[in-house]
Amino acid sequence: MIMMRKEIKTAIIGAIIIVASVGGIGVFLTSLDKTVANTGNTTVDNTIQNANSTGTTSVTYPDENNYPLAPNLTGITGYINTTPQELQVQMKDKVVLYDFWTYSCINCIRTLPFLESWNEKYADKGLLIIGVHSPEFEFEKDINNVKMAAQKYNITYPIVLDSDHQTWDAFSNRYWPAEYITDDLGHIRHTNFGEGDYDQTEQVIQQLLDQRAKRLGLNITADQSLVNLQAHEFAIFETPELYFGYNFADGRNYFGNTEGFEPEKTVNYTIPLDLQKDHFYLGGQWQNLQDSMKLVSDNGKIVLPYTAQDVHIVASGPGTTIQVLLDGKPVTSDDAGQDTKDSTAMISENRLYNIISSKQAGSHTLTIIGHPGFEIYTFTFG
C-alpha cells in the first residue's frame, strides 16, 4: 500500500501530464531556495545545495540531459546522524538515494532493512542514502521521537527532518515511502513509490556507482550480487488504511457510527448491531481531533470487521493498556502481534503497534477495549 496525502489528490492528474513530458521520469522536480534550522530550533540562513550539480566532467551519461536535477534540501528543521556542514560535503560526487519516509508508516518501516543493507554494502563505493523524514502526524515532527525511531530501527545513514514538507513539495512527492536516486552529477535517474522492486532499485544503484567510478577515474566496481532479504507479501484482498482524524477522512471515511465525526467535540458513541465490513465503530465518549480520536470516558471500545493477516495501530497515551479481542475472544499466541501479550498491549510512546499477526490472511472482527487517555490515529494492515 502506498500512502498519499489527501490534500493533493487534485494535483495527481497534472503530475501525470508532467511525467509524460519528461520522458519517463516518475515525477517532475523543481528547485527551491531553502532555510535550514538547526536541531536547537534556531533558524539560520543556509542552503544545502545539490553538491553533485556543480562539478564538471568529461564523461557524459546516455541521455543525461533528459533527466532533471534533484532539488535542494529545503526547509530542513533538524538533522540526525549528520550536520548541515557534514551533509553538504558528503553529497559531493555521490550517488544519492533520497528516501521519503515517516516513522509510524508500516510500509516505510518494512523498507528500512533494505536501505540499511544498501548503506552498509555501497557507502564506501560512493552511495549516500538520505532519509527525508516528512511527517504525516503532528507528533512525528518531534525530533526526539524520530531519534527514538532511528535508534529502534538501527538507521545509521543521515536523516533530515522535513517537518513542513518543503522538500516533499520541492520533489513534487506524493507518497510514503518514495525513493529518488540521482547519479553523481545530481540527475534523477530512478524513482520507486511504495514497497517492492528492491532488486531493480539495487541494480540501478550498482549501475550508477559504476558510472561514477568511470567518471572519477576510480578503480572501484560495485558488487553485482543483490541483498538477500525477504520482501513483504501482500494479501489479495485487504482492508484499506483507516483514519480516525476528521482532517484525514475526506474521500476515505470508513467511520461506521451514525453519529459521525464532530470536529473538536466530545461525542458519546454507541456501537450499532449491524456492522459493515472494513468500517470501524466506537463505543464510549471520544474526543474528535484533527488526526486522531482520544478516549475520554472510563471505558471505551473500538470494533472493526476486517480482512488481513496483520493489524497495526498508530496510537499514543503513555501508561495506558488496551485489551485486544479477536472474534470476541482473547487473542491467542497464534494471532498475537509483536506488541500484544496475554491479549493486552501497553501503549507507551507515540508510534506504530503491531497488535495482530495471524498465520495467514483472513476475515475477522477485532475489538479493542481502552481507558482514558488512549489515543488512536490509524489502523494499517499487511
- For β-strands 95-101 and 178-182, DSSP reports them as antiparallel
Instruction: Look at the domain 242-381 and name its fold.
Output: Jelly Rolls (2.60.120)
Cell of 381: 494492515
Q: What is the pLDDT of residue 50?
A: 62
Residue 42 has pLDDT above 50, yes or no: no
CA atoms of 220 and 224, how far apart (whole Å): 12
**Rounded Cα distance, 308 and 280, in Å:** 14
Over residues 183-203, the pLDDT tens digits come to 999 999 999 999 999 999 999
Q: What is the pLDDT of residue 52?
A: 53
Q: Decide which of 44 and 91 is more confident.
A: 91
Least trusted range by pLDDT, from 27-36, 78-87, 354-363: 27-36
Q: Tens of pLDDT along 93-111?
A: 999 999 999 999 999 999 9
pLDDT at 212: 95
Q: What is the pLDDT of residue 24?
A: 37
**Residue 168 CB contacts under 8 Å (≥ 6 apart), including other chains:** 100, 132, 134, 162
Query: What's the CATH code, domain 3-216?
Result: 3.40.30.10
Kindly list the domain boundaries of the chain, sorted by start residue: 3-216, 242-381
> What does the pLDDT read at residue 294?
98
Indicate the helix (H) or strand (E) that contains 202: helix 198-216
The predicted-structure confidence for 348-382, as pLDDT tens digits, reads as follows: 899 999 999 999 999 999 999 999 999 999 999 98
CA atoms of 29 and 71, how far apart (whole Å): 7
CA 185/CA 10 separation, integer angstroms: 33
The pLDDT of residue 59: 47
**Given a cut of 90, is residue 236 above it in pLDDT?**
no
Using one digit for the tens of pLDDT, what is the confidence trace for 134-164? 999 999 999 999 999 999 999 999 999 999 9
Q: What are phi and psi of 143, to 5 degrees?
A: -60, -30
Question: For 296-320, what is each residue's pLDDT tens digit?
Answer: 999 999 999 999 999 999 999 988 9
Which sign, positive or negative, has the C-alpha torsion 10, 13, 14, 18?
positive
DSSP line for 93-117? T-EEEEEEE-TT-HHHHHHHHHHHH
Q: If we measure between CA atoms, which residue out of 125, 132, 122, 124 comes closest to residue 201? A: 122
Return the pLDDT at 29.
30
pLDDT category at 48 given cuts 50, 70, 90 is: low
Helix (H, G, I), strand (E, B) or coil at 308: strand
Cβ proximity of 181 and 191 under 8 Å: yes
Cα angle 368, 372, 373 (rounded to 5 degrees) comes to 95
State the average pLDDT for the chain: 86
- Distance, CA of 163 to CA of 75 (rounded, Å): 8
Q: How far is the C-alpha of 133 from the C-alpha of 14, rounded, in Å?
A: 25
Stretch among 174-188, 232-246, 333-347 having the lowest mean pLDDT? 232-246
Q: Label residue 62 by pLDDT band (50, 70, 90).
A: low
Report the percentage of the chain scoring pLDDT > 70: 83
pLDDT score of 229 more than 60: yes
- Residue 30 confidence (pLDDT) above 50: no
Core vs surface per residue 79-102: b (16+ CB within 10 A) or e: bbbbebeebbebbebbbbbbbbbb
281 versus 44: the higher-pLDDT residue is: 281
**pLDDT, position 18:** 35
What is the Cα–Cα distance from 112 to 94, expressed in whole angstroms?
Answer: 20
Residue 356 grid cell: 495482530
- Distance from the Cα of residue 292 to its chain's centroid: 18
Specify the pLDDT at position 6: 36
pLDDT score at 235: 72
Q: Does residue 209 carry a pLDDT above 90? A: yes
For residue 242 the three cell numbers come to 483507516
* 266 close to 296: Cβ distance less than 8 angstroms: yes
Q: What residue type is 223 in one-letter code?
A: D
Q: Please enumerate in sequence order all residues whose Cβ is within 8 A of that of 16, keeping only pairs 6 or more positions apart, or say none.
A: none
| φ and ψ at residue 6, rounded to 5 degrees | -70, -30
CB atoms within 10 A of CB 30: 11
**Three cell numbers, residue 249:** 477522512
Cis ω before 84 (30° cut-off from 0)? no
